[in-house]
Amino acid sequence: MRSRWAGHQPMTGRRAIPEAKTSPPEPVGKRIVLHFPGFEPLDAHRHRQRHERALRKATTVWGFAAEIGPIHGDGRCFDVASQGATWRTTSRIHIFDHNDIVEQLNGRPLARRLALGFVSAARVVLGSGAAAYFRHAWRFGLFFVFPFLLVALAMAASLAMAVYPQWLGLGPWHYPLALVLAHAFFFSIFLPWSDRFHTLHLFSDWEMAVALARLDRPDILAWLEDCAASVRAALSEEADEYVISSHSMGSSVAVHVLGMLLGREPDLLGGKRVIFVTLGGAVLQCALLRPAEVLRARVGVIARTKEISWLDIQCLTDAINFYRSQVVALAGHPDAPQAEIAFIRIRHMLSPERYRRIKRDLLRVHRQYVLDSDRRASFDFSLMTAGPLPAMSFVNDIRDHLPETGREGPTQIERHPGKVEKSGGAFA
């Protein structure tokens, strides 16, 4: 994808290797962030709390001051004011979570969740998705297979327990005991144990993925329209930079919403600097399914919009992303401008002790893109959304281009008469 940042160096390996250290880019004064989270049971208030924790850590790691305001407006946004020795940035962050849908999917009776989960898995297989996953990102293919195979094996084991009297030629009085054992194994042993792998949550995740590919659920369509209306309003606010960030499943949601708006108003972004950031993006989770024609078309619309720079953050440690894949090309647009890819190393972002604790938890590693870091590294979500650097500068190692943050500078936000940082920032 074309870059809007003078001084950009292409990513060539595990981290960017600049030819020479250049002057930092001009700090962003005012930023609008439209964030589409992944498939998590968190509403806007809890996402704001997560952002506050991460921002608090970032101020310590990077040495600047910041304040975060409460949720306001339509209940989806909050403001952040940050300041270093030579810069001051205000950001309005809009959250487009799908907590209501997650709770609805996870709140159904167990039998229905299991049945519809297996139906979704069948649709992925029949829609050529599973084969495409293994062809382009074999670890993602295993991620798809894992929850369904695990539950299928547990069901088979329970069935074997239920019919063991017949296998062993035992009397009929053994059948009640066999049924009790089978029930106890599945419901009292297997299901609580499988929670550590978020197994049933993944069943719902795949239902959501299939729904975003097929666009055949009225509630999903209505929710996308609601998001589009809010995004349209947010884009009408004045800012130096508009960052549309998305994590995991949220990337497919963001593509639908942004592509929908651009399809209706091709000149919507005229004169704006827009950066579309996909973090551990799972666009291909949905786009590789045969019925996802609309989603693939919207990928092409976004890629060909000259005002948009697309930055795809990928990580080898994260098994739930399509590592080294060109999203735009695989969505059927090899002739369109491709997304810039920046590779990060989660090991470099965390302390050794913290990394050891999380490295075997696939979903926890996958969430790290939007969580706090312990050390200065080539990527930091809080710095991207609330700091001074233009978002496209994160295509390289930001430590080589960071303005003076102020380790010897301010420890709190400077007050200016007539401006309110905590509840409205410079946007009020």
CATH code assigned at 348: 3.40.50
Given 174, 205, 236, which residue is the final one in a domain? 205
Residues 54 and 138 in one domain: no
Burial class (CB in 10 A: 0-12, 13-18, 19+), 137: buried
Residues 238 and 362 in one domain: yes
Q: Give pLDDT tens digits for 11-45.
A: 333 334 344 455 678 899 999 999 999 999 999 99
Report residue 394 CA to chain centroid gap: 17
Q: Identify the band that residue 348 occupies on the pLDDT scale cut at 50, 70 and 90.
A: very high
pTM for the structure as a whole: 0.88
Residue 413 pLDDT greater than 80, yes or no: no
Residues 190 and 135 in one domain: yes
Residue 174 pLDDT greater than 80, yes or no: yes
328 and 339 in contact (C-beta within 8 Å)? yes
Over residues 1-20, the mean pLDDT reads: 37
Residues 230 and 147 in one domain: no
Does 374 fall in a domain?
Answer: yes
Residue 16, pLDDT score: 40
Q: How far apart are CA 261 and CA 231, in angstroms?
A: 9
Residue 426 pLDDT greater than 80, yes or no: no
Given 153, 171, 205, which residue is the final one in a domain? 205
Q: How far apart are CA 133 and CA 322, in angstroms?
A: 8
Q: Tell me which residue has tokens 């299939």.
A: 210
Q: Identify the band that residue 101 occupies on the pLDDT scale cut at 50, 70 and 90.
A: very high
Q: Give pLDDT tens digits for 364-407.
A: 999 999 999 999 999 999 999 999 999 999 998 887 677 665 55
Residues 227 and 297 in one domain: yes
Residues 284 and 375 in one domain: yes
Q: Count of domains in the chain?
A: 2
Does 82 fall in a domain?
Answer: yes
CB-based contacts of 321, cutoff 8 Å, min separation 6:
137, 140, 280, 281, 282, 314, 315, 366
Residues 258 and 286 in one domain: yes
**3-state secondary structure string across the chain:** CCCCCCCCCCCCCCCCCCCCCCCCCCCCCEEEEEEECCCCCCCHHHHHHHHHHHHHHHHHHHCCEEEECCCECCCCEEEEEEECCCCEEEEEEEECCCHHHHHHHHCCCHHHHHHHHHHHHHHHHHCCHHHHHHHHCHHHHHHHHHHHHHHHHHHHHHHHHHCHHHHHCCCCCHHHHHHHHHHHHHHHHHHHHHHHHCHHHHHHHHHHHHHHHHCCCHHHHHHHHHHHHHHHHHCCCCCCEEEEEEECCHHHHHHHHHHHHHHHCCCCCCCCCEEEEEECCCHHHHHCCCCCHHHHHHHHHHHCCCCEEEEEEEECCCCCCCCCCCHHHHCCCCCCCCCEEEEECHHHHCCHHHHHHHCCCHHHHHHHHHCCCCCCCCCCHHHHHHCCCCHHHHHCCHHHCCCCCCCCCCCCCCCCCCCECCCCECCC
Residues 131 and 255 in one domain: no
Residues 247 and 394 in one domain: yes
Q: Give pLDDT tens digits for 114-142.
A: 999 999 999 999 999 999 999 999 999 99
Residue 414 pLDDT greater than 90, yes or no: no
Q: For the chain, how big is the Rg over CA atoms in Å?
A: 23
Residues 167 and 226 in one domain: no
Residue 416 pLDDT greater than 60, yes or no: no
Given 179, 205, 231, which residue is the final one in a domain? 205
Residue 171, pLDDT score: 84
The residue segments making up the domain with residue 149 are 121-205
Q: Which amino acid type is present at position 380?
A: D
Residues 241 and 192 in one domain: no
**Which stretch of 1-5, 81-85, 105-109 has the lowest confidence by average pLDDT?**
1-5
Residues 326 and 245 in one domain: yes
The backbone torsions φ and ψ at residue 75, rounded to the nearest 5 degrees and listed phi first, read 80, 10
Does 200 fall in a domain?
Answer: yes
Q: Give pLDDT tens digits for 229-264.
A: 999 999 999 999 999 999 999 999 999 999 999 999
Percent of the chain with pLDDT over 70: 88
